[in-house]
Chains A and B, each alone.
Chain A
Amino acid sequence: MMRPGFADPVFQAQASFRAVLEAMSRPGRVQLLDLPLTPPAGLDPAMAAVLLTLADADTSLHLPAGAEDAAEWTRFHCGSPSAAVSEADFVLALDAVPVLSTLRQGTDEAPEQAATLICQVALLEEDRGWRLTGPGISGSHHLRVAGLPADFLQQWAAQRQAFPCGVDVILCAGHRIAALPRSVRIEEA
């Protein structure tokens, strides 16, 4: 049976958006997204909330193969047309994370057309691991993430060279989210 989306679409979407906005404007700070949401197996509540908040019929979405329950739920509630990894506005990553450069990068004149990668990870903590600097950060923030490809930092450094083009990443783990806007610099702490 299809599981429900937001019980209160207006206020829960607003609360989720403010958490995402806070995460995006303060990269590395972990936000708690504690909504009573019961998404299908394979989809964390935070990820489900981000999808319900941002994706709709106006945005294209790439869902990974497999994870049929999650895909069906997302298609039903968001109604987003599906697209290839290289075309989609939002790219969902559940287990395997696609290489950043395979996503839509935007152009120098229209960097806002770049894709947003919404990524489900195993662990998200404000702890030693990465050291983040850049807009939104006073001094530096620390973030520990488990579940990203081993060469993620190399991919990120490569994409930083092309700024303002590049992919923005929203990381979700359980009820927690953090974001990596393309403007942020990341290094091992």
Chain B
Amino acid sequence: MTHDPGYNFAYLDEGTKRMVRRAVLKAVSVPGHQVPFGAREMPLPYGWGTGGIQVTASILGPQDTLKVIDQGADDTTNAVSIRRFFSRVAGVRTTTRTRDATVIQTRHRIPEMPLREGQVLVYQVPMPEPLFRLEPRLSETRRMHALADYGLMHVKLYEDIARHGHVSTAYNYPVMVANRYLMSPSPIPAFDNPKMDNMPALQLFGAGREKKIYAVPPYTRVRSLDFEDHPFRPHRADAACAFCGARDSYLDEVVCDDRGGRMFICSDTDHCETRQEAAR
């Protein structure tokens, strides 16, 4: 396949790619630290994955195979549009198979299948600052990161426990990276947090509107914040997938009618299809 000759390979001009690449390298060398970068306008609105797309465009090469997921699914609007965008402007192979992909751009999920070395996971991040609900001033949060002063977040978790008996955060659950930086894992479900720990694949995070890039290198300690007497517990709906019967995957609840009917299905469509094929 070839790319649309009206655009530079992978849409971005080479100067922009170099700028993003330098930011990515600095992000990798300081795991969890948010590196500012000059996010460009992309041919889709902020909030639709402009940060992830710029990171993907800067690392992508003709030998790569790209997979794009939106909430785990390969067949939703955002995933289909971004996949088509890259097959047009970069002419790369695309796939829905997690195992065949070398670059996986994701919105709000980590695939169920464990990732391996040689794969890169690119997250679309709406809000990179984990402390922004607690401290709105970026000048202050920057200082808190500099001092590794994350007491505010511990107090928030403590207040959750005092009020509800458990931490009331089901997604975007804050993590400590390499015992130094507090990091937002992007709005993935807390269920996915343990997959980030010691992952053999490289994880890159791009926030286009907020103009930040950060990273978790392979085999890096990623710990979800918790307390000794209230350990972190990932939540999962207590059901089996209606299609493949999986009891260990993350489930979406689907309302089927207006009489209270509902079913649970795997959020990761590739995982679900692979299991259904194997069962047939």
The interface bits of chain A over 95-139 (1 if a CB of B lies within 8 angstroms of the residue's CB, else 0) are 000000000000111111010100000000000000000111110
On whether A182 and B30 interact (CB within 8 A), knowing A25-B218, A109-B145, A112-B23, the answer reads yes
Q: Given A21-B59, A24-B25 in contact, is the A109-B142 Cβ separation under 8 Å?
A: yes
On whether the beta carbons of B18 and A25 are closer than 8 Å, the reply is no
Partner of A168 from the list B25, B62, B220 (CB cut-off 8 Å) is B25
**Chain A residues within an 8 Å CB radius of B36:** 112
Also in contact, A54 and B18, with CB within 8 A (given A10-B9, A20-B25): yes
Residues of B within 8 A of A159 (CB): none
- A residues in contact with B266, CB < 8 Å: none
Residue of chain B at shortest CB distance from A20: B25
Residues of the A chain whose Cβ atoms lie less than 8 Å from the Cβ of B111: none
Q: Which of A11-19, A34-42, A61-69, A146-154 contacts B (4 or more CB under 8 A)?
A: A11-19
- State whether B178 touches A135 (Cβ < 8 A): yes
CA distance A116 to B62 in the complex (A): 28
User: B14 on the interface (CB 8 Å rule)?
Assistant: yes
- Residues of chain A within 8 A (CB-CB) of B142 are 109-110
Task: Choose among A26, A111, A134 the residue that contacts B33 (Cβ–Cβ < 8 A).
Answer: A111
User: Would you give the shortest CB distance from A17 to chain B, in whole angstroms?
Assistant: 5
Closest residue on chain B to residue A89 by CB atoms? B22
> Is B35 on the interface with A (CB-CB < 8 A)?
yes
A11 engages B21 (CB within 8 Å): no
Instruction: Tell me how many residues of B have a C-beta within 8 Å of chain A.
Output: 44
- Measured CB to CB, the closest approach of chain B to A61, in angstroms, equals 13
Contact string against A for B residues 195-210, beta-carbon threshold 8 Å, 1 for contact and 0 otherwise: 0001010100000000
A59 at the interface (CB under 8 A from B): yes
How far apart are the CA atoms of A54 and B97 in the complex, in Å?
32
Could you tell me the distance between the alpha carbons of A182 and B217 in the complex, rounded to whole angstroms? 13
Residues of B within 8 A of A108 (CB): 146-147
With most chain A CB atoms within 10 A of its CB, the pick from B29, B178, B216 is: B29
Assembled-state Cα–Cα distance A136/B242 (Å):
38
Interface residues, chain A, with chain B CB atoms under 8 Å away: 9-11, 13-15, 17-18, 20-21, 24-26, 53-54, 56, 58-59, 107-112, 114, 116, 134-138, 163-164, 168, 181-183
27 A-B residue pairings within 8 Å (CB atoms): A9-B14, A10-B9, A13-B18, A17-B58, A21-B21, A21-B59, A21-B202, A25-B217, A26-B218, A54-B18, A54-B21, A56-B15, A58-B18, A59-B22, A107-B146, A108-B146, A111-B33, A112-B26, A112-B27, A112-B30, A134-B178, A135-B216, A138-B198, A164-B30, A164-B33, A168-B26, A183-B31
